A and B are shown apart, each in its own frame.
Chain A
Amino acid sequence: MRSKLGLDVGLADSCREVAAEIARDVGQRTAGRTTVSVERTVARLLGVDGVDALDVPLPNVLVDQIEEHGGLARGLAYWLGNAIIATGAEPLEIAKLVGAGELDLHHLPLAEDHRIRQTIRQHAAAALEKIRGTRAERATFRAGLDGGTADAVETYVLTATGNVYEDVAHAEAVAENGGDIVAVIRSTAQSLLDYVPFGPTTEGFGGTFATQANFAIMREALDRWSRANGRYVKLSSFCSGLCMPEIAAMGAIEGLDNMVNDALYGILYRDINLRRTLIDQRFSRMINGYFGVVINTGEDNYLRTADAVTAAPSVVASQMINYFLARDSGLPPEQIGVGNAFEIHPDVTNGLLYEWAQAQLTRELFPDCPVKYMPPTVHMNGNPFRTHAVDSLFNLVTVATKQEIQTIGVPTEGVFTPHIHDRVLGLENTRYVANFARDLGDDIEFRPGGIIQTRAAQVLAEAHQMLLEIAEIGLFDAIGKGYFGNVSRHYDHGRGAEGIVEFDTGYYNPFMELMGVDLDA
């Protein structure tokens, strides 16, 4: 792709090299550690699901018991593997026995290490095979339907009623009106829960709880619609908070197509401990990568907590770091949807040109990625008519710069969680602009030295400078100094730090091995 922005190719390459180095450093500094959520994910992938008599999820029951005896440094797989040998039972049965207080994993005779590894590895391989089989069936189902036009923007639509059964109606309205991806926003409190709630839920705050049952209900409803209407509609959720990898596993099992998965979001905006999140995001993204789930990163947030004009370089820097952290977890470029947003204040003179420059810059820096573009939110003041007008320009930039995934704007942004018709109005606006200006991008050239080219060059240069500074001090210290979104978080602070466990020499996680990513590399 020829650069419309006349970018300095050497500078862009240098950004990539520096960002790769920053990601490698993070990998080294988080290696040799696991977390309670990574270990619960191992349990989930092995088929452990359900709750005990006190409604504690069984993956938590297992991890809690192992942790109580100080055994987590070996990994849940070790203890579960040993229990399989000792009892002859399957992981789920073992978890139920532990939940019922009838089995203590530490009171069983210990088999030899190599035998434990061999046993649990076989179980893990079979579990992965089973999930892959279901996903292959889904791929076939999808291939038989209309997947939309290859070069068209995929519209990504958020629903959030709190009640999964109402979400189904909203998702159908989205599908009916041309939405390509439905994402159910989670209840806000969920990111700070160190467990995943169980079962279908009908009450949530600002969203619906991400539970495996809720995933299944939404998936089934969308499949039903897709079958009846001959067009495949994708499902998305959020790998964020204290349960990033568990959500990734649940999504893989239930056939989700996309996941929001940002390496830094939980640290910055939910005050989750930074090492905890960086360890969790690795395993979480490994799972997304292995099962072909497209991830979306959350750079849009920096544009909301900091000034969108001045924060632009931090978006590029973060896109680069998020990209290489994802690559290190085994995700191919075509599964990494780096994020950007249309958040410059509507009163800024030539704001549209700055937005155009930034959107085009993202597109050109990540030519193989399904880049994701987010609508204006922060300056939307409750006037639905103004918001609708701003959304039209957002839609114009989206189509002209060929973004691949577009979260649609809704006229009632900033008022309440959108009502069923608000999303339809948003989709109509999107469709109108996408068609009315379809080939605009191909017909446009930017004047050398004009506002757009100059702005893009400036943002890239500042992003490069920022990446150099981050590489110098390391990502941890950079977060401490408030490089992203003007939020500062420190190494030892934040939620969930107590859930980090250092490996001992006997640590084993069969999935890391089987999914083919060497985390210590």
Chain B
Amino acid sequence: MRETADLSAVRPYGDHLNDGLVQVTFTLPVPYGLAARHAALELARTMRLTEPEVVHYQRLCDGYTYFVVIGQCRQSVDFATLREGAFDIQYLTEHEIDRLIEEQIGRRVVVIGASTGTDTHSVGIDAMLNLKGLDGRHGLEAYHGFEVHNLGSQVPNARLVERAIAVNADAILVSQTVTQQNLHLHNLTELVEIAEAEGIRDRTLLICGGPRVSHELAKELGFDAGFSKGTYPDHVGTYIAKELVARRAIASTTATAG
């Protein structure tokens, strides 16, 4: 009879329960040879892999060697507890997002975005908004449900808010890539202040993104949401659509109650 996993102590599975088998590939910046192979095994042990084996290694060029290592991971995770406390958002596909907007909002959602301040990097905002998107997943410009205004890079916060008011934006997306001397924190805070001063904070979703931006940081700075590495346009699209639908539901409940 097949044993079932103890969900409070789960280990990697190769061909039988709790064997802990994993494979790791990496390059070391050392010359190819037996010493390099030895170093890879030693490194695997410091990764706490037991009985590591170098199953393949090769020279890439002068001073660089590539390894494929297998080993047993004796560590475990408590899946049972993790599953209970996890925050899980159900992402929708492009098609599902469009349908949600059409059915629940009944008009195109206006999104405006920019890389603000002195930041010249438009890669993040372009990946989210421009048609080409990211890794073959369309940006919001391609969706039927969104009307997109991408102001590009080096846009002053005041200008972004002014344009947001002009196009009656439902959501403002701001991208910050340059984080030297915490420039992004200053810049993001300023945007929230301007949005508040102009009186649009409450009716506009404020969303920020960038490699050093987390959801927690975004909330702390006064944004509604923050997105980091690994974010795709459909993630942002899902959030905007679901959040707007949720807010409308609250608004209509309030209206009925009042």
Residues of A within 8 A of B (CB): 169, 172-173, 175-177, 188-189, 192-193, 205-206, 269, 271, 301, 304-305, 377-380, 414, 419-421, 424, 485-487, 495
Residue on A nearest B134 in the bound complex, by CB? A414
Residue on A nearest B138 in the bound complex, by CB? A305
Give the top 8 A-B pairs by smallest Cβ distance, nearest first: A378-B136, A188-B123, A176-B61, A173-B61, A421-B66, A172-B61, A173-B60, A414-B135
Residue on B nearest A301 in the bound complex, by CB? B132
10 pairs of residues in contact across A and B, judged by CB atoms under 8 Å: A169-B63, A175-B61, A176-B62, A177-B60, A177-B61, A189-B120, A269-B131, A305-B142, A378-B136, A380-B136
Q: Which of B66, B121, B142 touches A424 (beta carbons < 8 Å)?
A: B66
**CA–CA, A177 to B132, complex, Å?**
32
- Assuming the contacts A176-B61, A192-B153, asked whether A304 and B132 have C-beta atoms less than 8 A apart, the reply is yes
Tell me if B76 counts as interface (CB < 8 A to partner A).
no
**CA–CA, A188 to B134, complex, Å?**
12
Residue on A nearest B26 in the bound complex, by CB? A421
Tell me if B75 counts as interface (CB < 8 A to partner A).
no
- Assuming the contacts A205-B123, A304-B132, A414-B135, asked whether A420 and B153 have C-beta atoms less than 8 A apart, the reply is no
Tell me if B156 counts as interface (CB < 8 A to partner A).
no
Residues of B within 8 A of A (CB): 25, 27, 58-64, 66, 120-123, 126, 130-132, 135-136, 138, 142, 152-153, 177
Which residues on A sit within 8 Å (CB–CB) of B62? 172, 176
Residue on B nearest A206 in the bound complex, by CB? B123
Which residues on B sit within 8 Å (CB–CB) of A173? 60-61, 64
How far, in Å, is A408 (CB) from chain B's closest CB? 15
Given contacts A205-B177, A305-B138, list 4 more A-B pairs with CB under 8 A.
A169-B61, A173-B60, A269-B131, A380-B136
Q: Which of A271, A377, A486 touches B136 (beta carbons < 8 Å)?
A: A377
Contact B122 A189 (CB under 8 A): yes
**CA–CA, A486 to B64, complex, Å?**
43
Contact B153 A304 (CB under 8 A): no
Which residues on A sit within 8 Å (CB–CB) of B121? 188-189, 205
How far, in Å, is B143 (CB) from chain A's closest CB? 13
How far, in Å, is A174 (CB) from chain B's closest CB? 8
How far, in Å, is A71 (CB) from chain B's closest CB? 27
Which residues on B sit within 8 Å (CB–CB) of A424? 58, 60, 66
Contact B136 A193 (CB under 8 A): no
**CA–CA, A243 to B111, complex, Å?**
30
Contact A189 B66 (CB under 8 A): no
How far, in Å, is B179 (CB) from chain A's closest CB? 11
Residue on A nearest B29 in the bound complex, by CB? A169
**CA–CA, A470 to B177, complex, Å?**
40
How far, in Å, is A504 (CB) from chain B's closest CB? 32
Which residues on B sit within 8 Å (CB–CB) of A377? 135-136
Contact B122 A420 (CB under 8 A): no
Contact A189 B27 (CB under 8 A): no
**CA–CA, A175 to B59, complex, Å?**
13
Which of B61, B63, B123 has the most C-beta atoms of chain A within 10 angstroms of its own C-beta? B61
Contact A421 B132 (CB under 8 A): no
**CA–CA, A421 to B58, complex, Å?**
10
Contact B132 A188 (CB under 8 A): no
Which residues on B sit within 8 Å (CB–CB) of A192? 120, 122, 152-153
Which residues on A sit within 8 Å (CB–CB) of B123? 188-189, 205-206
Contact A305 B61 (CB under 8 A): no
Contact A304 B27 (CB under 8 A): no
Which residues on B sit within 8 Å (CB–CB) of A301? 132
Which residues on B sit within 8 Å (CB–CB) of A205? 121, 123, 177
**CA–CA, A188 to B63, complex, Å?**
30
- Assuming the contacts A188-B126, A189-B153, A495-B152, asked whether A169 and B120 have C-beta atoms less than 8 A apart, the reply is no
How far, in Å, is B76 (CB) from chain A's closest CB? 25
Which residues on A sit within 8 Å (CB–CB) of B60? 173, 176-177, 420-421, 424
Residue on B nearest A425 in the bound complex, by CB? B66
Q: Which of B66, B132, B136 touches A379 (beta carbons < 8 Å)?
A: B136
**CA–CA, A273 to B171, complex, Å?**
27
Contact B177 A486 (CB under 8 A): no
Residue on B nearest A423 in the bound complex, by CB? B60
**CA–CA, A378 to B130, complex, Å?**
15
Residue on B nearest A207 in the bound complex, by CB? B123
Which of A176, A305, A495 has the most C-beta atoms of chain B within 10 angstroms of its own C-beta? A305
